[in-house]
Structure 1
Amino acid sequence: MRPRDIPVIDTMLGVPLKEDRSDWFNFFKPLLRDKESLSQFSMPAQYMFRNIPNADGIDDLPGWTVSEMDRFGIAKALIGYVEGSPLNDIVRDRFADRFFFDMPVDPNGGVDVIRAIRRAHAEVGIKAISVFPCGCVPQVPINDKRMWPVYTTACELDIPVLVNVGVPGPRVPMAPQHVELVDEVCYFFPELKFVMRHGAEPWEELAVKLMLKYPNLYYSTSAFAPKHYPKAIIDFANTRGADKILYAGYFPMGLSLERIFTDMDAVPFKDHVWPKFLHENARRVFQLD
């Protein structure tokens, strides 16, 4: 059972500004084709999740988010930075000690994306860049030449890049996120800190082999309830990979913190893994000191 005295660092959390959070997913809506995804889902992978958190009737959504973090011992959380969003000022004015930013990007934007990353790093100190290859419009494979400037910039700024890997939840083609594509990126960018997001399934054993191979390759547990953490990942954390696995939730996009932390107690991590998984690895990789 996990220790209760570890201050948790969550490496994927959302702070809603309004009850309808569909704008979080609108960027890749042009890729969707089936009627259910387009007209019935409140989020594009809704068929995979039960009891998605509901914030209806809550006036202070950022405050509600922080109160939920307090309930479950989350000291800090990584959230997405969007240029011009009022959330940026809310976080810095009210909750600067509770959040740090990653910047989601679509590499199709070319050099404008690189300029935006550099601005965000200079102005707010973003701690990471994130990319959803299957959600880019058009899609961008993990090892595509359009990704190369993003990886180069991450190396120059000495910040990690967070990349979705494995079969995506939304009903879009999966080829851009095949885990084998990570191999080429790590080969050409040995100093790049690359964090695999969203499971790597069904290639989680390949993800483990690649983490053994490359010292700067990591895995986060984003978008998975703990009862569904892949066995290969748990076994790796308990043996040679304790320094490689980072906790990430998916609140409130798909999972409640109550569901996550109730399930967490049954995860069979060894005692020495828990502080690294919940806190130390994230502090090191994102240079939070």
Structure 2
Amino acid sequence: MGYPKDIKIIDCMLGIPEAEERGDWYASFRPLIKDAQTLEQFAMPAQYMFKDIPESGQQADYIRWTVEQMDRFNIERALVGWNDNDTSRRAKEMYGDRFFFDMPCDPNKGMEEVRRIKRVHSEVGLSAISVFPSGTLPQVAINHKYMFPLYACAVELDIPILLNVGIPGPRIPMETQKVEHLDEVCWFFPDLKIVMRHGAEPWEALAVKLMLKWPNLYYSTSAFAPKHYPKAIIDYANTRGADKVIYAGYFPMGLSLDRIFSDMENVPLKDEVWPKFLRENARKLFKLGD
């Protein structure tokens, strides 16, 4: 059996557009970009990696439009970034049963950021926090001391942290996202649940070794069309990693749902792995209940 279309999917990376213009989505790390092509020609800094980037067009209600796209592909719930603005608040109020939230965080802000996480969590009920290490300014590595207050906060709140790992798509330095940095963090914080985002390439084999070693480390498929899921990750999901690999898309930031789910037909997961990959692993990790 291939991809089972009757499973109600939990998508662990989806966005709600706020306007046709995308620039603000990438403003935080734009000062790191130096090449003229990215600055002058790209709508998004990693545009060279994607083709047919979806356009949301002009919508009267972007939140309702996003839910309509989810409904087309049987996506029951989606993890979206909490931006503490009107769009996020309306999404929670209107569709609290469809969206759950992670909050992007800046480790450079120290305890100010820890206090912000706790405040928003008490108000909203965050399901996770997230960091794009190469996109911090200045850049902060996964195992840098500035990250440790965020890790401790996530442990205290009993929520996962989502970390971009591997070579970043935007043309900015990669050192901060080397997969090897996770080893120290998983060792020092055995109660911290960590989810790798954005591929871990070219260290995907190391990512598998670390997931075998550390029970608190997970992998999500964000920003990859299914035809490009790393073979090491598929092999791991089909064997000892069935409970550790989680579906995440990248709509509408770089991939259309049509592209994702047409590719999904050819992903060689075992029958018993599909429900875990598309739904159950996320449900357990993010404590979504039934």
State the alpha-carbon separation in 1 of the partners of residues 13 and 68 from structure 2.
17
State the alpha-carbon separation in 2 of the partners of residues 4 and 56 from structure 1.
27
Task: Indicate the residue corresponding to 2:8 in structure 1.
Answer: 7
State the alpha-carbon separation in 1 of the partners of residues 288 and 79 from structure 2.
11
RMSD: 0.7
State the alpha-carbon separation in 2 of the partners of residues 81 and 47 from structure 1.
27
- Aligned runs of 1:1-289 on 2, under 5 Å? 1-83=2-84, 85-289=85-289
State the alpha-carbon separation in 1 of the partners of residues 265 and 247 from structure 2.
14
State the alpha-carbon separation in 1 of the partners of residues 167 and 58 from structure 2.
35
State the alpha-carbon separation in 2 of the partners of residues 242 and 91 from structure 1.
31
Alpha-carbon shift at residue 56 of structure 1 (Å): 1.8
* AA at the equivalent of 1:42: A
State the alpha-carbon separation in 2 of the partners of residues 27 and 68 from structure 1.
27
State the alpha-carbon separation in 1 of the partners of residues 88 and 176 from structure 2.
31
State the alpha-carbon separation in 1 of the partners of residues 106 and 27 from structure 2.
13
**Structure 1 residues 265-288: Cα deviation after superposition (integer angstroms, max 9, x where no partner):** 100000011000000000000011
The count of corresponding residues between Structure 1 and Structure 2 is: 288
State the alpha-carbon separation in 1 of the partners of residues 247 and 171 from structure 2.
25
**Structure 1 residues 26-47: Cα deviation after superposition (integer angstroms, max 9, x where no partner):** 1100100001111211001000
* AA at the equivalent of 2:149: P
State the alpha-carbon separation in 2 of the partners of residues 208 and 224 from structure 1.
17
State the alpha-carbon separation in 1 of the partners of residues 87 and 57 from structure 2.
19
Gapped runs of 5+ residues in structure 1? Answer: none
Q: Identity of aligned pairs, percent?
A: 64
* AA at the equivalent of 1:177: Q
* AA at the equivalent of 1:58: Q
For the Cα contact (< 8 Å) 2:32–2:172, is it kept in 1?
A: yes
State the alpha-carbon separation in 1 of the partners of residues 88 and 63 from structure 2.
11
Q: State the 4+ residue runs in structure 1 displaced beyond 2 angstroms.
A: none
TM-score by length of 1: 0.99
SS at the partner of 1:284?
A: helix
* AA at the equivalent of 2:17: P
State the alpha-carbon separation in 1 of the partners of residues 276 and 57 from structure 2.
35
**Structure 1 residues 8-54: Cα deviation after superposition (integer angstroms, max 9, x where no partner):** 00000000111112111111001000011112110010000001011
State the alpha-carbon separation in 2 of the partners of residues 236 and 89 from structure 1.
38
* AA at the equivalent of 2:80: I
* AA at the equivalent of 2:56: A
**Structure 1 residues 220-263: Cα deviation after superposition (integer angstroms, max 9, x where no partner):** 00000000000000000001000000000000000000000000
For the Cα contact (< 8 Å) 2:19–2:58, is it kept in 1?
A: no
SS at the partner of 1:218?
A: strand
Alpha-carbon shift at residue 119 of structure 1 (Å): 0.7
State the alpha-carbon separation in 1 of the partners of residues 92 and 172 from structure 2.
35
Alpha-carbon shift at residue 94 of structure 1 (Å): 1.4
* AA at the equivalent of 1:21: R
Gapped runs of 5+ residues in structure 2? Answer: none
* AA at the equivalent of 1:32: I
SS at the partner of 1:187?
A: helix
Alpha-carbon shift at residue 136 of structure 1 (Å): 0.1
* AA at the equivalent of 1:234: I
SS at the partner of 1:79?
A: strand
